[in-house]
Amino acid sequence: MPDKNSYLMIAMLSFIGGYVDTFGFIALFGLFTAHITGNFVLMGAMLVHPMQGGLLKLLAFPAFLLGVAASRIIVLNYEQRRRSPLKVLFLVQFLLLIGFMAAGLMAPLPLESDTELAAIFAGMLGAAAMAIQSAGGRTTLAGIVHTTVMTGNVTHMVIDVVDIAYSGDDALKARARTRLKQLAPAVSTFFAGALCAAGGYLNFGYWSVSLPIALLLILLLSPGRWLERAAG
């Protein structure tokens, strides 16, 4: 059963997901760092309406795959030793986001070309960082809702609201209410992260990525037992 620790972790990770994904989209020619679906759609659209950013999106794909693979390797190694991989995953994501910010600071802003080397590194590091969070959400954080992609969460929210309003099954209603308590903070803080990313980009450029980095640092420094309870 999720508790307040889970809700806090969901809120923090969802804010990070919304922030980094939106920031990458604004700063890197529409690059989605937190998921691949949008990049596939945009690359397909480029065949009809040529636009910049194709190289960034193309290179972000293998970077995302490597991030997922690295996350899984870390999880398997720690599970074999019966230890929690959460702190290591947060550390890797923390370092990758620092690299994302550092590389971005070396690129011109606003970006004029997707062939700018610093921007390419920024996109790849951002995609790898969010791949760590995405993969972790399906393995070590399986007890909480997804924090990087909101399509499924919004779909479940609508289903749960309908179940609560129209179903005559009390058990079904109870499950829906429990799930909504996770989904609501995930969707709302992801949206808040997206809005903050826009403001951060306009006012501070890549320095504003220090906000999601700081949130990750808080998670990284949190007691291990708290993280385990929050993970569900």
Q: What is the pLDDT of residues 38-96, one digit of tens each?
A: 888 888 887 787 777 788 888 999 999 999 999 999 999 998 998 889 999 999 999 99
Q: In degrees, to the nearest 5, what angle opens at C-alpha 219 toward C-alphas 216 and 221?
A: 110
Q: Residue 63: CB partners within 8 Å, gap ≥ 6? A: 123, 124, 125, 127, 128, 131
Q: Is the separation of the CB atoms in 187 and 150 below 8 Å? A: yes
Phi/psi at 139 (nearest 5 deg)?
Answer: -125, -85
CATH code of the domain containing 185: 1.20.1250
Residues 82-102: pLDDT tens digits?
Answer: 888 999 999 999 999 999 999
Q: Is residue 232 part of a domain?
A: no
Average pLDDT over residues 107-118: 83
Residue 122 lies in a domain: yes
pLDDT digits (tens, 9 = 90+) for 174-206: 999 988 988 999 999 999 999 999 999 999 999
**How many domains are contained in the chain?**
1
Helix (H, G, I), strand (E, B) or coil at 187: helix
For residue 231, being part of any structural domain is answered with: no
User: pTM of the full predicted structure?
Assistant: 0.92
Residue among 16, 15, 24 nearest 42 (CA): 24
Identify whether 150 is part of a domain.
Answer: yes
Residue 176's domain comprises 4-225
Closest CA to 163 of 174, 173, 175, 178: 173
Residue 139 within any structural domain of the chain: yes
Q: Give the Å distances, CA to CA, from 162 to 146, 177, 180.
A: 21, 11, 12
Share of the chain above pLDDT 90, in %: 62
Mean pLDDT, to the nearest integer, of 112-138? Answer: 91
Distance CA 30, CA 42 (A): 8
Residue 133 has pLDDT above 80, yes or no: yes
Confidence of residue 16 (pLDDT cuts 50, 70, 90): very high
Is the pLDDT at 141 greater than 80, yes or no? no
Does residue 230 fall inside a structural domain? no
Comparison of pLDDT for 111 and 208, the residue scoring more: 208
Can you give the pLDDT at residue 205? 95
